[in-house]
């Protein structure tokens, strides 16, 4: 948004105070309000897109964890699978590809 809401609101009130026989300030006020509504609509659309992207990422993560066996359909963690993964990761850091325990890949 280009200008702060307080400034925009003050400008509308000042133009309304000058209304008598000249209705052009009223028309300008309506156009300013419509412009402001378009800006707000764009901001709402941007937030909606961000929420949609986050939901998509969450669904993708759930599907991945479910396929790997870390979650069940009720979003409960399979602690046996998590413990097995922890052990695999710990053992991978302690062994190289030849079964030696130096922690470096050859």
Tens digit of each residue's pLDDT (9 = 90 or more) over 13-46: 787 777 777 777 778 888 888 899 999 999 999 9
Distance separating alpha carbons of residues 102 and 106, to the nearest angstrom: 10
- Residues, the chain: 106
Give residues with Cβ within 8 angstroms of 84, minimum separation 6. none
Average pLDDT over the chain reads: 80
Confidence at 96, pLDDT banded by 50, 70, 90: low
Which tokens in the block code for residue 28?
């300008």
pLDDT tens-digit readout, 35-44: 999 999 999 9
Q: What is the pLDDT of residue 78?
A: 83
pTM, rounded to two decimals: 0.49
Distance separating alpha carbons of residues 36 and 9, to the nearest angstrom: 10
């Amino acid at each position: 948004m280009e200008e702060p809401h307080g400034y925009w609101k003050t400008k509308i009130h000042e133009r309304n105070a000058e209304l008598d026989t000249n209705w052009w300030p009223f028309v300008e006020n309506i156009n300013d309000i419509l412009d402001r509504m378009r800006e707000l609509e764009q901001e709402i659309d941007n937030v909606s897109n961000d929420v949609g992207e986050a939901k998509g990422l969450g669904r993708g993560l759930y599907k991945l964890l479910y396929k790997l066996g870390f979650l069940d359909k009720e979003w409960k963690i399979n602690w046996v699978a998590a413990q097995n993964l922890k052990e695999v990761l710990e053992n991978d850091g302690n062994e190289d590809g030849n079964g030696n325990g130096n922690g470096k890949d050859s």
